[in-house]
Chain A
Amino acid sequence: MKILYAFFVCLFLVSFTNAQERFLTKKGMISFFSETPIENIEAQNNQVLSIVDASSGKMAIAILMKSFMFKKALMQEHFNENYVESDKYPKATFKGDIIDFDNITTSEITLAIKGNLTIHGKTKEITIEAVTKKTDEVIEMTGNFFINLSDFDVKIPSVVKNNISEKIKVSFRLYHKTYKK
């Protein structure tokens, strides 16, 4: 009986700590920016799903390609239909580990995150830096990094080669909250 009791106490504690350790946002922001002398292209996605597991320091992000909003409708159309082929590859994902996650504090520090980024069906290992901050209810992460289009097999037709940069700057702002439910 005593063992059973101890077992239930453990179970209770486990479920309790689990509830405290998942941080999630459904409304993260990721934007990208391509800069060339001819034109600048920018798109923003405000429906990013991102989860941080505070017990293991792992994080996972999922993005719908069609949620990227461009200034010009034609750019958005080309992006979805020709470049990233959103019908075939509707999502981009990132799965990784936050290195030295235990160092996270209530004041801002820069941490590295190493993981696999999948866009357009191609996966590449990347390490990015993020300014992070954690309180009891919130984990905040912001930063930016560069990706090469060729790494993800995104082909740009030669006609518009000068309009689109090979190096794309990606910025993110993720405001995770403790996950209830």
Chain B
Amino acid sequence: MKKISIYILIIGLIGVFIGYKMYNKPHINVAEKPVDIALTASILLADFSSNETSANTKYLDKIIAVKGMVTTVEFDGEKTAISLQTKDDFGSVVCYLTKEEFKKSTEIKEGQEVVLKGICTGFLMDVILVKCIIMNSK
């Protein structure tokens, strides 16, 4: 009888521990995750503007590495938004960088070619990527 209650107690404790771990599960760390899809800003935008529904299933929540030419770099405190040029005149791909990338982002210049890695959240006027990091700039 005593044995059983000890077992139940141990199982219970493990349960609480797992529950606590899950509750405090960390956010996805983009830097450590492998890239799911790598492509250019033009292709990404074209996919969304031609068929948004299929593009949503293809790209949403995926880790995307997007290559393109920087048109604007905007700062809002320590938050940086980098817009990438596409073949479309109206839309672009806008990448919102993590705060950790702020220092690096101040070195990015307009007209420069960059590769940014982030999570795609969808399409409004532009395709939006959040939690981006700078992979490669030259």
Residues of A participating in the B interface, judged by any CB pair closer than 8 Å: 26-27, 46-47, 49, 62, 64, 66-67, 69, 72-74, 76, 86-87, 90-91, 181
Contacts and interface: CB of A to CB of B under 8 A. Distances in A.
A67 B60 contact: no
A27 B128 CA distance: 11
Contacts of A86: 60
Contacts of B42: none
A36 B33 CA distance: 35
Contacts of B94: 26, 47
Contacts of B27: 73, 76
A87 B130 CA distance: 17
A46 B98 CA distance: 13
B84 to A, nearest CB: 14
13 contacts: A26-B125, A26-B126, A47-B94, A47-B121, A64-B121, A66-B61, A66-B121, A67-B121, A73-B26, A74-B23, A74-B25, A87-B56, A90-B56
Given A26-B94, A67-B121, A181-B90, A46 B126 contact: no
Given A87-B56, A90-B56, A49 B124 contact: yes
Contact of B122 (A66, A69, A181): A66
Nearest to A50: B124
B47 to A, nearest CB: 15
Contact of A67 (B26, B57, B130): B130
A90 B25 contact: no
Contacts of A46: 76, 79, 96
B107 to A, nearest CB: 22
A69 B99 CA distance: 14
A82 to B, nearest CB: 15
B51 interface: no
Interface in B93-127: 94, 96, 121-126
Contacts of B4: none
B128 A47 contact: yes
B79 A90 contact: no
B69 interface: no
Contacts of A26: 94, 124-126
Residue among A26, A74, A87 having the largest count of chain B Cβ atoms under 10 Å: A26
Given A73-B27, A181-B90, A47 B130 contact: yes
Contacts of A76: 27
Given A47-B121, A62-B124, A72 B24 contact: yes
A73 B30 CA distance: 13
Contacts of B22: 74
A66 B119 CA distance: 10
Contacts of A72: 23-25
B130 A69 contact: yes
